[in-house]
Amino acid sequence: MARYQAGLRTEARITESTRELLGEVGLEATTLKAICDRAGVRAGSFYNLFDSKEEVVLRVVGEAIAAVDPDPEGRNTDTVSDLVEAYIRFIADQSTVAKIYLQIAVSGAIKDGKLGKRVFRHHESRTARFTDALLRQRPDLDRVEAEARTEVLLATLNGLAFRWMLDPAFDFADHARRASLSPAIAPGA
């Protein structure tokens, strides 16, 4: 039991060190060596818990996304607006991690097939969640149409997020809210 607890503490130190480094020096300078040095662990201990730097970075990103989840228990009570607001909070409250996620989603996923599959699974999960929320909001739509509208909304939100990455003064929140109010999404359209 003590060995298990020590592993959990080491994992938490590695994750926290990664989070700190990402905020301080960005993705490129957050090296495996820097993570291990900050966490006070050897590379072997790191590799006992994580397969790669990318895996721990994605863990940090996943924790940041979970922190803004409007329905963490999965009770299917979230609305499209709730999910858009969660994305806005992710961008606003976790801006460094959000930028890193977007960077990984594009460049990392293209270069690394395994990472690409993981990013795609996350996209599929998010698409399903938005689609379910849209169907609760718009019962007049069939699933195929709701999925198509969800893909357009998510592409719009991601495009707005990329724009914000390039121009931090860009009002991502306002534009994201406007996208969620489009006739394709809003009730009665």
CA distance 35 to 52: 11
Count other Cβ atoms within 10 Å, centred on residue 108: 19
Condensed to tens digits (0 to 9), the pLDDT of residues 138-174 reads: 999 999 999 999 999 999 999 999 999 999 999 999 9
pLDDT in tens, 68-126: 999 988 898 999 999 999 999 999 998 988 998 888 888 766 777 777 788 888 899 99
Q: How confident is the model at residue 2 (pLDDT cuts 50, 70, 90)?
A: low
Number of neighbouring beta carbons within 10 Å of residue 56: 24
pTM listed for this prediction = 0.84
DSSP code of residue 51: S
